Copies of this chain bind each other. A is one copy, B any other.
Amino acid sequence: MRATTRRPYSRAELERLIAPKSIALVGASPRAGSFGMRTLENLAQYRGEIFAVNAKYDRIGERPCYPSLKALPRAPDCAVLVVPRDGVEAALEEAAACGAGSAIVYASGYGEMDHAGRAAAQARLAKIARAAGMPMLGPNCMGLVNNALRAGITFIPEYALTPHRSGPIAIVSQSGALGYSLAQAVERSVGIRYCFSAGNSADVDVADLVAAVAEDPEVRAIACLFEGVPSAARLLEAGEVARRADKPVVVFKLGISEGGAAAARSHTGSLAGSAAAWHALFERAGFIRVDDYEALVEYARLFSFAGPPAAPGVAVISGSGGAGVMAADKAARYAVPMPQPLEATGKALRAVVPEFGAARNPCDPTGQVLSNPESFGQCCDAMLGDPQYGALVLAMTVATKEVAALRTRQIGELARKQDKPIAVVWVSEWLQGPGTEAYESDERLVLFRSMDRCFAALAAWHARAAAVPAAPVTRLSSAQAAEATRSILAAAGGKLTEAGSKRVLAAYGIGVAPERAAASAEAAVAAARDTGFPVVLKIDSPQIPHKTEAGGVRLGLADEGAVRAAYGEIVAAARRYAPSAEIRGVLVQPMAPRGVEIIVGARVDPEVGPMVVVGSGGVLAELLADSAAALAPVSFAQARALLLRLRGMKLLEGYRGTPAADIDAVCEAIVRISEFAADFADLVAEIDVNPLLACPDGAVALDALIVMRDR
């Protein structure tokens, strides 16, 4: 993890970058198609002051051109560096010296290249910007658009030709091409206030931008997409800013696929791949995750105007029976309830729906009533008036232009008349068909181009309303736990055995199976006598972490003879397995009580940081990836929520005669393990408690392994 402790920029600190009153274009050029000329063209309708800067020209078109930033009459809010890479550092120094309020660097060829020199050059740019208190966007970025100011501070083609339609949505993208492709939704009349491309994010990153626009009162929803961030922690802080401002953030993460991480599924460290880590981060940040690019604007539209649902039910009206069935299928898929109308509602529907239509939910008033504006409105009114429904979905199929226009006007009026959101699903391949622009320009409506995404979004809308804000975590483990652990880790010298790992768990207050070390067969027999038969013998060697593979475990040894024989066999097997290993002897444990095996692990994700992972143990662990992850540390309630996600949870609740396990004790162990992971994120790579035995009266770690980081 590239740890960066810097907090996100505040809205005020970024004001001169995202809403500049004056812009200097360093490297302005009269050459058609040049980045400088394109940026100038994209600023054609900008209402602030523009300074062209280039020593080669006196004027560019009608505009005077200054020889340098120093020569400007006053410091610009934003200095846009359109100079080639070799000139960037000097230009940035000059911008800092002249007191520019912010900088944008287009040039590529920095940190995105696998080249130490270029990374160092990028770091120098960041240092100049930070030292001057001059927030910098880029390098390798495509600038930003502020439609409220009609400012296209970007070289993207043809911004000048598009309608500069502002609105409640902010797009915060790392990729310029993907961000601006989203922003093209303005061509379909979607109002978009900002679009940013953070590029290499050497200074200002998507976390800063999300936090800044969350504090903009005109912004109502944020669509965010990125590939990587310098600091995942800052995303959490940005999430906190957005939560306080009640601004929904819809996020799409690129680069989420895992190459072969599924291989060692029973090994906790890999139970959670990088996708799981990011999903856990977004959950903690309160972000609404989508897995498809196309969903970003649609979700942002819904969340930009829809308050918390008045009721969980969704009503569907469609001019096609088939589209209604599609809606019901998708509602079932996303567990969105579609209750039948109340008696009074049904009566109102029956009054206008023909006998071969459907006066139910989904309601099919048939083509006849859809051509008849009055009765269509009556259907909508009846459904919206039913207290069971929190939202109305209208599935629009092919229609004449007149009918479509009529319907569109009606639906717009309905949307303004009441508080329940209306989603229009455009069930047509004619994507730009009649009415779509009107729907998209109406800020009280959301248009979906997919029934699936409509119901997925409604489910996410319900989930956001139901989500309890994360409680501040109260620590369960003692203040001394970390200190005691530090000594154990120091003594172990970078490599912990099972016994050492268990001592750490014990320091954190986690129940561990009692065990005694024995360096000879006779010592093992004596330990077994003290422990009480039957016992388990396990090899004790720092070089043999996976004991079963080495033939180093024997279960259910019932008497002294069995223990004596097993000692010799285990040691011999371990020697064959790892001839150069230091064999200290064996560990003697009592046989475990009856219980349900679960796996609790933690790992420090290189990008996201410490996280805890809970999974089903035993057979289930090998047959299915039954696991759930959260950022560490977790609260007791969060630990319980993780357990509830497991399919294996049924086993813990008592199953086929097995008594119910002590779920509170399991939760407590999860919390304590997560606290250890968070405390030692800098030293520990992963911890694997496999199994944690969940018994009717407590939970005990039967085996544990802590792997330290390579330093």
Residues of A with Cβ closer than 8 Å to B?
A: 108-109, 112-113, 140, 156-158, 173-178, 180-185, 187-188, 190, 225, 227, 254-259, 291-294, 297, 319-323, 325-326, 328-329, 331-333, 355-356, 366-367, 397-401, 403, 427-433, 449-452, 619-620, 622-624, 647-648, 650-651, 655-656
A430 touching B185 in the complex, CB below 8 Å, given contacts A452-B292, A624-B624, A647-B624:
yes
Looking at the assembled complex, report how far the CB atom of A289 sits from the nearest CB atom of chain B, in whole angstroms: 13
Q: What are 13 A-B contacts with C-beta separation under 8 Å? A: A157-B398, A175-B320, A184-B428, A185-B430, A187-B433, A225-B322, A254-B325, A255-B325, A259-B332, A292-B451, A293-B326, A293-B427, A622-B650
Which residues from chain B contact A258 at a C-beta distance below 8 Å?
332
CB of A322 within 8 A of CB of B431, answer no
Which residues from chain B contact A647 at a C-beta distance below 8 Å?
623-624
10 smallest A-B Cβ distances: which pairs? A175-B322, A177-B320, A257-B332, A184-B430, A157-B400, A177-B397, A185-B429, A181-B428, A178-B322, A254-B325
Among A109, A112, A173, A356, max chain B CB count under 10 A is at A356
| Chain B residue nearest to A178 in the complex (CB) | B322
Q: What is the CA–CA distance of A431 and B184 in the complex, to the nearest angstrom?
A: 9
CB of A184 within 8 A of CB of B623, answer no
CB of A319 within 8 A of CB of B177, answer yes
CB of A188 within 8 A of CB of B431, answer yes
Looking at the assembled complex, report how far the CB atom of A160 sits from the nearest CB atom of chain B, in whole angstroms: 12
CB of B322 within 8 A of CB of A174, answer yes
Q: What is the CA–CA distance of A84 and B453 in the complex, to the nearest angstrom?
A: 39
CB of A356 within 8 A of CB of B325, answer no
A293 touching B451 in the complex, CB below 8 Å, given contacts A188-B431, A399-B157:
yes
A113 touching B355 in the complex, CB below 8 Å, given contacts A184-B428, A623-B647:
yes
A432 touching B431 in the complex, CB below 8 Å, given contacts A293-B451, A323-B178, A397-B178:
yes
CB of A257 within 8 A of CB of B328, answer yes
Among A328, A403, A450, A623, max chain B CB count under 10 A is at A623
**Cβ contact of A108, chosen from B297, B366, B433, B622, cutoff 8 A:** B366
| Chain B residue nearest to A623 in the complex (CB) | B647
Looking at the assembled complex, report how far the CB atom of A124 sits from the nearest CB atom of chain B, in whole angstroms: 18
Which residues from chain B contact A399 at a C-beta distance below 8 Å?
157
Inter-chain pairs besides A188-B429, A227-B322, A291-B452, 14 sampled, C-beta below 8 Å: A108-B366, A109-B355, A109-B356, A113-B355, A158-B401, A177-B319, A181-B428, A181-B429, A182-B429, A185-B429, A188-B431, A227-B325, A255-B325, A293-B451
CB of A430 within 8 A of CB of B398, answer no
**Cβ contact of A322, chosen from B187, B254, B259, B655, cutoff 8 A:** B254
Looking at the assembled complex, report how far the CB atom of A550 sits from the nearest CB atom of chain B, in whole angstroms: 16
Looking at the assembled complex, report how far the CB atom of A646 sits from the nearest CB atom of chain B, in whole angstroms: 9
Q: What is the CA–CA distance of A398 and B140 in the complex, to the nearest angstrom?
A: 17
Looking at the assembled complex, report how far the CB atom of A612 sits from the nearest CB atom of chain B, in whole angstroms: 22
**Cβ contact of A429, chosen from B175, B176, B297, B400, cutoff 8 A:** B297
CB of B450 within 8 A of CB of A292, answer yes
Q: What is the CA–CA distance of A112 and B430 in the complex, to the nearest angstrom?
A: 28
Q: What is the CA–CA distance of A182 and B398 in the complex, to the nearest angstrom?
A: 9
| Chain B residue nearest to A320 in the complex (CB) | B177
Looking at the assembled complex, report how far the CB atom of A316 sits from the nearest CB atom of chain B, in whole angstroms: 13
Which residues from chain B contact A187 at a C-beta distance below 8 Å?
429-430, 433
Q: What is the CA–CA distance of A451 and B257 in the complex, to the nearest angstrom?
A: 14
**Cβ contact of A356, chosen from B113, B185, B326, B356, cutoff 8 A:** B113
Among A326, A355, A449, max chain B CB count under 10 A is at A326
CB of B329 within 8 A of CB of A257, answer yes
CB of A397 within 8 A of CB of B181, answer yes
Q: What is the CA–CA distance of A178 and B425 in the complex, to the nearest angstrom?
A: 13
Q: What is the CA–CA distance of A401 and B156 in the complex, to the nearest angstrom?
A: 12
Which residues from chain B contact A174 at a C-beta distance below 8 Å?
322
Looking at the assembled complex, report how far the CB atom of A295 sits from the nearest CB atom of chain B, in whole angstroms: 10
Which residues from chain B contact A158 at a C-beta distance below 8 Å?
400-401
| Chain B residue nearest to A366 in the complex (CB) | B108
Which residues from chain B contact A450 at a C-beta distance below 8 Å?
292-294
Looking at the assembled complex, report how far the CB atom of A538 sits from the nearest CB atom of chain B, in whole angstroms: 17
